[in-house]
Structure 1
Amino acid sequence: MKQLSKQMLHTQTGMTIKRGPEKILQFGKGNFLRGFFNWLLEGLNRETDYAGSTVIYQPNPGGSTHDYLKAQDYLYTVCLQGMVDRAAHEEYTLITSVSRTLAYQEWNEVIKLARSPELEVIVSNTTEAGLTYQKQACPINGAIPSTFPAKLTSLLYERFKAFEGIGGGIDILPCELVQKNGDNLKEMVCQHAADWDYDKSFYHWLTKENDFCNTLVDRIVTGYPKEDAAAFFDAIGYEDRGLVIGEPYHLFVIEGQERIRHRLPFAETDFNVRWGNVKKHSDIKVRLLNAPHTIMTSLFFPAGYHLVRDVMESDLSSPVMEEVFHELAASLPYSNEEKHTFIEDVQARFCNPYNDHYLHAISMSGVSKFKTRILPAIREKSVVDISDLYALALAGLLQMFRPSKKNESVYFGKRMEEFYPLYESETILLELDRFWTDYQKHGNFKKLVEDVLSSHLIWEEDARWLGNLTEPVTSYLNESLKSNMVTIIKKRPHT
């Protein structure tokens, strides 16, 4: 079977790929953006006169070195599978709107694009761990800033100079699941500009000409189907190493100025794109979809589970997840009917028989996700009402992110006899490695838990305010390492 390429398509179908000007710069070529934003952009090109393409930049030095998209002339397929109106649904979309990809080392090409008058939008998904401020030296002589906000500051400054401070504003769409992601990113960029002594005219241009939109994104994208790839290739008629699997459901909420509505004319399509205040959508989605994912992974990945669907359908884990949804819903101020309806939809999506959503994939940036998704839920509860589910989940998280070995720059955890890579910021992994190494010397679980909770590098605060969680986390962590998480869950009474 032939691999997807322009030539293969032309030979088999007569199709000729034509791409529009490079209007969008995308930070991150992970599964989610390719199965969500690039899919939406493909629809814009097909259903409207948008006629734009995307340049994808890999912002991390540890990202994929084999550019499978380049080998396929930047073509790939999105397959959506699930239930729509109670009927099985499957659709395939060929994505043709990616013009090129840039490796981490090709930062100079990013800077060139930043100066282009055709560039209008920057979109990102660097995970919660990527949307952080780290003070660093001003980049000179082509040096690559280490974080996404610093990179964005640097390229916007280059654009400011290219346009001599007149016009050229960019609409910025951060898709990281962080409350007020646009506002937070703008604050970080302004801080870097101040750190680097950029002149006041740049600050004026930055804040007046550019729009940092708050956004909310929602679609479960499971990525490349490693075990079933051959069957999918048979269905589409070619080999596609960039194939992405996702669910049909999608939601994109954008809170921005009028300009972005014209630049991305989603109103001319049937896509579920909404404009306006993000807060309510974000509160419900993050608390009742993303937070359950994070707790589920912390509890059941150490217990030996592999898929979200397995957790939802198991006699052992399903009642625990019902309790998780109940606890998280109680921390939201919205109507019970609204929350119940959303939970029912989420549970159906989690049980999607077509999507193999791996817990290990959800564990990426798991500590950062716990900070942004779970700690706010705990804050909503009085100390005496905090469920020990949170303590058990935190114990599972610490067990899951215990570095067992390091291969070059990659840390690995260990589950039974299986090693798995730990995906989290280097700062957090170094901190956890230090605490676990210290534990090996003193054998004191309580000190380990207190060290973790008091780490500003992990939580950006002293999280010992969690108070009465320290003792149960210590107890659960001790017990889980002596026996296993399954034993603890079986013994624990459900509410």
Structure 2
Amino acid sequence: MSEPRTPILQFGTSRFLQAHADLFFAQAEPPLAVTVVQSSGDAARAARLAALAAPGGYPVRIRGLDRGRAVEQELRVDSVRRTLSTASDWPALERLFCEQVEIVISNTADAGYQPQPADLDPTPSQGMSFPAKLAHLLAARFHAGARPLQVMPLELVPENGRVLKARVLEILRGNGMPAAVADWVAGLGFANSLVDRIVSEPLEPAGAVAEPYALWAIEAAPGIIAPCNHPAVQMVPDLEEIERLKLHILNLGHTALVDFWRRSGARPGALVRELMDAPEGAALLALYDAEVIPGFAQKGREPQARAYLAATLDRLRNPFLDHRIEDIAQNHTQKAERRIAAFLDWIGPGGPATPQLHAIVERARA
């Protein structure tokens, strides 16, 4: 049997990727094939790694609300055709990287970018961070004379493409590789992107439960192309607008709910969907209407904000999602600063009256 050709190389085996990018690749026109790489070397996840590429694929269950209508369906994801581990399959990974790969995606969590003592070693090793492993693979591709490729990180890091590229170049220039390698990598496209989908639980040994809403927004730049044709994949001129919507509507709403929940007695075990049918939910709707939407309107973004709010309310009311408000309440002060105080700074003192938002920030700081 011939080896499957996989133009997509994915670092990370998370349930988020299983219900996000891997699902999109399976649904794309035309469908795309993926090799999944486990970069952690965690032997405990061997069963998941094998199940990702099982014949017939793995399940993703979509459960939630879409325009107020309940959605519950199971999809099969068969885009993953091969799995490898950086701990045991480096020669095969390097050969694949040089011969087949056109797009690299990653979701290795924020910790995956953290520098490691082995990062500047002259040869690749399992103790390296993800950027260092990627640097060695890119160097191998350069020496093989292969054509340029595109790198598309999905980690929730602001300007993730710029950050990853800078770290890879720092490693290449610090470990004694020829300057021509770094010069070649500097010319590659590293895309900035923002991803969004609540993936609420894993299915074993592979698969996940996810909400209907999904987004993969990619910032347009020279040499950057969409990885596939899918409704959830959007090329945008600037990520700032989407970042503002997510931060100051969805995330702001979560933080405001925490404040209302605390003021009403902080009932243990309360779920977001339950609060949306309680006085806290009514207070949030009033806050959106009186202070948040007018703030976006002042910036000329009312239509976008209202459309995003409608989708957000479906997400907050998802009857299948047990999202505990106590989990959202962690690091409340920092979240209030980033989600609410930053919104007030953005709209400025000449904007609409925002007494409730100011009060929430003051209580969080107290």
Compute the TM-score of the two structures, normalised by the length of structure 2.
0.76
What is the correspondence of 1:186-197 to structure 2 with a 5 Å cutoff? 186-197=165-176
Q: Give the aligned partner of residue 252 of structure 1.
A: 216
Equivalents in 2 of 1:305, 1:30: separation in Å?
27
- State the Cα distance separating 1:287 from its structure 2 match: 3.3
Residue deviations 1:190-218, cap 9 Å, x none? 2222332332201211022x210111222
Residues 66, 280 of structure 1: alpha-carbon distance in 2 compared, 3 angstrom cutoff: same
Match of residue 193, structure 2, among 208, 215, 218: 215
2:98·2:140 contact (CA, 8 Å) conserved in 1?
no
- 3-state SS of the aligned residue for 2:125? coil
Matches within 5 A, 1:65-80: 65-71=45-51, 73-74=53-54, 75-80=57-62
Match of 1:59 among 34, 39, 56: 39
Q: What's the CA shift string for 1:19-39, capped at 9, x where partnerless?
A: 941222212211211101001
Say which SS state the counterpart of residue 119 (structure 1) adopts.
Answer: coil
Q: Does 1:342 align with 2:308?
A: yes
**Larger mean Cα displacement after TM superposition, 377-386 or 30-39:** 377-386
Equivalent residue number for residue 273 of structure 1: 233
Q: In the aligned structure 2, how far is the partner of 1:178 from the partner of 1:371?
A: 17
The aligned counterpart of 1:313 is 277
CA positional deviation for 1:150:
2.9
Q: Which of 81, 98, 107 is 1:125 aligned to? A: 107
The alignment partner of 1:67 has SS state of helix
> What SS does the aligned partner of 1:338 have?
helix
Q: Name the SS for the 1:310 alignment partner.
A: helix
Q: Deviations over 1:360-393 (max 9, x none)?
A: 8879xx76x9979953753454699984634766
Superposition pairs of residues 56-455 of structure 1, within 5 angstroms: 56-60=36-40, 64-71=44-51, 73-74=53-54, 75-103=57-85, 105-106=87-88, 108=90, 111-113=93-95, 115-131=97-113, 137-163=119-145, 167-208=146-187, 210-224=188-202, 241-256=205-220, 261=225, 264-266=227-229, 271-277=231-237, 278-290=239-251, 292-293=253-254, 304-305=268-269, 307-316=271-280, 319=283, 323=287, 333-357=299-323, 374-375=337-338, 378-379=341-342, 381=344, 387=358, 389-390=360-361
> Which structure 1 segments of 5+ residues have no match?
1-17, 226-239, 394-468, 473-495
3-state SS of the aligned residue for 1:116?
helix
- Secondary structure at 1:159's aligned position in 2? helix
The one of 9, 12, 28 equivalent to 1:28 is: 12
Q: 1:86 to 1:303 in 2, by over 3 A?
A: closer
* Partner SS state of residue 25, structure 1: strand
Residues 42-53 of structure 1 aligned to structure 2 (within 5 Å)? 42-44=26-28, 47-48=29-30, 50=31, 52-53=32-33
Task: Report the alpha carbon displacement of residue 329 of structure 1 after superposing the two structures with TM.
Answer: 6.5
- Tell me, yes or no, if the aligned pair for 1:287 and 1:329 is still in contact at 8 Å: no
In 1, Cα distance between the equivalents of 2:43 and 2:322?
23
Relative to structure 1, is the Cα distance of residues 103 and 299 closer, same or farther in structure 2, using a 3 angstrom cutoff? farther
* Aligned Cα root-mean-square deviation (Å): 4.1
Answer 1 or 2: higher relative contact order, Cα 8 Å, separation at least 6. 2
Q: Which runs of 5+ in 2 are unaligned?
A: 350-354
Q: Which amino acid aligns with 1:354?
A: F
* 1:154 Cα deviation after fit: 2.9
Map Cα deviations across residues 103-144 of structure 1 (whole Å, 9 max, x no partner): 463362574256432111111223344445667641344422
The answer to whether residue 18 in structure 2 is matched with residue 38 in structure 1 is: no
| 3-state SS of paired residue (2:99) | coil
2: CA distance, partners of 1:77 / 1:362 = 28
Distance 2:293 2:157 in 1: 19
CA distance in 2, matches of 1:290, 1:63: 35
SS in 1 for 2:60: strand
Checking the alignment, whether the CA contact within 8 Å between 2:336 and 2:361 is kept in structure 1 is no
Q: Secondary structure at the residue paired with 1:242?
A: coil
Q: CA deviation at 1:186?
A: 1.5
Give yes or no for contact 1:219–1:250 (8 Å, CA) kept in 2.
yes
